[in-house]
Structure 1
């Protein structure tokens, strides 16, 4: 994870106060009108992730792009926060900056970090987070702008891998890259230039041309200058330019072969030159050796010949006489067909060839060096009889070495000659170092390890060939290897190297050491007493707590018995318990009393146990003692309290019960037993539902389950079933009993018999019903009488009306008669 800040730093991020880097479409830093929040809906469909988080890092709001980046729905994200979605390796820095932001120590921060998507995938983002404040300046929440940079990271990774592959390739070829700036006359070297050269000579990754050229002979500098000038004049590049660099400390000369590409500007001026330099010292040394030998063949004690393409011998020195006699050939005559073929191959390839020739018990290693311009091949022989005989002896014992190597898990056996050439390389440890038998056998240390590692290995081999046996440890890819190298007896300049993977052993040793350290720390901080005695009862170990309890310092405790430290009574008690522990495989546990220096008598729960030795027999007696004085006092007080409580509960007139989480009775008082006509033993363990009337069970269970889940007390009137099947009514008040975490673990209920009240209520109800029936009957009679009266009154009114009409009619008739 990298942090981007306005200033460049490699230590920690710095910030430009009051400003933040502009990010594509980033949200504004002002608040909306009343609630102090950004109008996030404006940014809902942007291709940039926007996320609001509370001051403690919980997501408050997110847009569509942020959901896409993390693969969650908006609803899911609003249940998460910064910690839930941030990669564990990046969370520490992110939350630290977040806290500084909230505290007002920085106005904004930016960083590249990894999120963990819903599907478990990792995605890289660039995050810019700022603080949103209210109208009065108080911090409200943070706002983050998130840009997906996974593609960018993949490109970076590919570039790094490509650069690494190029680095490995150049290192394998003993090359380093360089660049030259013509305007500034400045060379820039790749990091591995010291490994390729074998020395630094004060050179830095960047150097002036004068600093580099001062390490080369004047004639080489002149040749380089002319070659570059000619390349610029002809607009060509540098090809296979060879020159020397000399280490001023020891005069060591390194030959380099340089190839370079010149870059020109639009006007055709050379601006930069890029190239590679390869260390060719080994091949130059071989060429020089050939030239030296070819200049003085007559004085050479080994065979030197000049051979033509058609197989004739043009020249042979005196040391070649034995070979010529063996071939029955002389100068100007033809050489054997097999050697003739090698000569032809050498001329065709243009490179030197190595062949071996054996004659009369002597073996010669011959180098065929082509001289193309003259059309012949020089043969330079070297007597390698001793070496070959030693190799034959080595091959004879090679099976033994390979068998040894195969019997060493994760190990290897190597045999090296005085030329530091691997003759035997066997064992799985070879592959653990990325090598193989073929890569080692027949090759020298410097060929296999051309870097500083090879230099160190050669230095150790020189000491070994001087007669020193060397042992050392090496760490590689998290494994630890132990190596010992020594000269091989009865051999001609050979050394044997044995390498063993000791990772598990080292881990076991470290684990044992850590275990011992943990044991010491544990024992010294253990609040309990701990000690170890031998079978004679003498103390051999005691922790600090035991020293204090025994009032005896360690130096006066070790080697002494209980009788020499404690009173005879206490010592006899301890000795008796020790004896019981010795005869029991599992040891024994007891309570022991000891009066401390302050005069108080303390009680301890003591465990004593035998500790077997390497042969399985008891060698020691271990012991621990935990002070239980306060616990015993508390238990005694609790016992007294429980007895008092039990007496009170049993004297209560109401039934009192305690039920576990499943409703089983775990305590009943006598009053409850009397209610149901059961004994205490008959009721304990019985579910209360078996004693509850079927019509009341469902409601009782519902309220009880709620109590056990939420801790809510309840009251209920219900029916209980007595032993004889009769029913009694009870008024129940149930309350939870909480455990140490505040969760209900059981319940206590007070159950009052209300059967008489229920019966009185029922009788009263029946009386009310009878009274209601009588009232209804009386009401009906009165209503009938009222109706009859009303009917009689109506009839009278009708008759009275008819009389009035009749009287009126008579008066009218009477008036007519008068008139």
Structure 2
């Protein structure tokens, strides 16, 4: 019987004048109401747990009493008993009803004794002729004093003996309050409630026929209530009268239903929010059950061998120690440990269990959940491996060394091959100051350099030690508050490089002399022209068109090849042969069609292609230029570059996949129906039951105040501005702050209308610490990647510049010489336009070659290079106003990047803007570089303003890699545009 039922019984039995008590199976008193105490004169505090015999009553009273009480326990049927009972004031005559109380299993749980004091009634019967009237009045007073509803009914049967209705003969005052039926005496139930259920008529009909009382608890839906009570037959059987004592338990039933629903929701919540759920015995010897969620094997039946089944030997002692500590302190068990997964492999879990205590504070059971943290543990292990590898890299850096010095000029780290080469060991430096560890002449210089770096200015310094040349580069390291707390310096032994540079300088001087000599010799001998032709790394060939009798081009005849082509193909015998016959793969490769198009249109064309035919299996860059009725073809082997690009693409793809984390929750927003769908993982993230209504605004309910602007942007994007989005915000769920990374994509139909947005919410709380630790490393890697890309670009530009200068440029010079030889045979008017075009081509080739490798930038810095760039436009119709205000020279990679950006912007203005004037401003202020370019051209029209051109997109991407900003602004008048680029100066 529930506590609520007890409360209802107490309310019923404590108020009426009847003496009511409850007795257990040992015939001992469990409860007595105030009327029982008042009537008997007993002290209730001394009666609990005693039988009536132990209450010091005569055996003549206790024996019949206990006999009747035992009878009810044995039969489960009510019984009546009359007896005298001595009290301190008088002899009381009792009429006792013994009523069995049934438990949930249908067995007698206790016996209720209701005693009526009939002393006055008996005296009236003995002494007064009107005693019956007085007894009736007392009975009526007692009858109406009950808080419980009470009525006497006459059951009505039809001809077949089926109960179909009943009439009310008597009701007490509580009857109307309990049922809502007024003035019921004399009326039938169907008169007052026509829809009253048949099961009530069957119940009372059976009691009237058989005389067997019944306890009931059922719904009276026609009255809108739920009742529990006790009904029994009274008077002669033929009267078919039934007395009913009942209470309205509607509120209790609603509470029980609410508890049942709450329990179901709780179980659903546990299932939805925990990957693994388990229950343990108080001493953890037995596992009652485990829901493994396909991570661990399920345990449906109690197990005594769970420890060996789930915990590997390596973690057995750790787990047992944590269990012992939790049991001894009766506190929460929490532990990260290995487990044996369902497939037999080892995994990691974070396990947490709480003890359930009884009223005495003893543990009766443990309830626990466990989360799969295998991926996090693997990430932590990978991070440690990365740290170890970094340390190993420092210690084994080829020809280099790494030093870290704090603000006190004390060495914290000193390691590397160059350290030994310079005559030191790590023990000579670590823990010592610069002044203590270094020779005086070196200590003074390095202290100045380190102080310079701590002030935010990186340094680069070359010096000699032990007959070797070293270069040291130092940058500041900041602590968690952003204050520069130390300096990291990397030193390299550059002795061999210095020697190579000297030799290269000598070789360059010699090479320049040779170029002069060869240039002079070109005018004297075609053989010398062929030697220059053969020194290029490009594979050159001159092809003549082969046509049939109708003039259709059928093939190309090889007229001339250089040595590089002969070496590359292994065919020194190509001259005079047909191109497609010797290299049939040009047709399936698409080269033949390209060659035909160049001959037909006269427009040069180029292509990069993979050639798997004739055993080559290489990548080439080819260019075809029409010459008379034929072609000049050049090919360059770019296999290494292509393989490097493919490897870079593959590595980037792997990196992107590695950075993706498993989704903790996903959702969809349907723009057609406006519905917001959640996966179970989303309910887990927000700690909500799965039947909770939700909308995008739920982010606003849970987001922290500091991140509310992000949540508002997210909700607005979901509902009003569909677009791909990636945001990170923090929410509070049950006093716990969770960091969510939200990624979205938009699905569109054929008309580009959005019809659904899909999103993933990732709990990245535990990864934040790892991200913070990796931040510095990632920034350094990003910078290193950018510098590597820029180096590759610069090398490629240099290669192309050399190819233009030594290849195409030389061919153009040779062509001009040939043209000069035939000038005497042709009229001046015919030869002049061709000579002019050829001179312009030579000049343009030189200009492009110099632009690709701006030597003034390397030799004199960005200021001179920018001024030289602006002066290049003086001969043109475009006036360039240039203003450069830089505080000092910048890092070489940054100067090159700014120069290329300015060069590309001016080229765009010259080619596309139709402008006559452009202003260029380059300035350095407060650790920031600002580049502004404004023109008076045609601006951004509605057609060309729809999207950035390739050049502007390339500039924007480069600025982004340099952690800068790119702003493109159109003039309100529609004339001209303003480009503003801001780049941070590295500390």
TM-score w.r.t. the length of structure 1 is: 0.26
TM-score normalised over the length of structure 2: 0.22
Higher Rg of the two aligned structures: 1
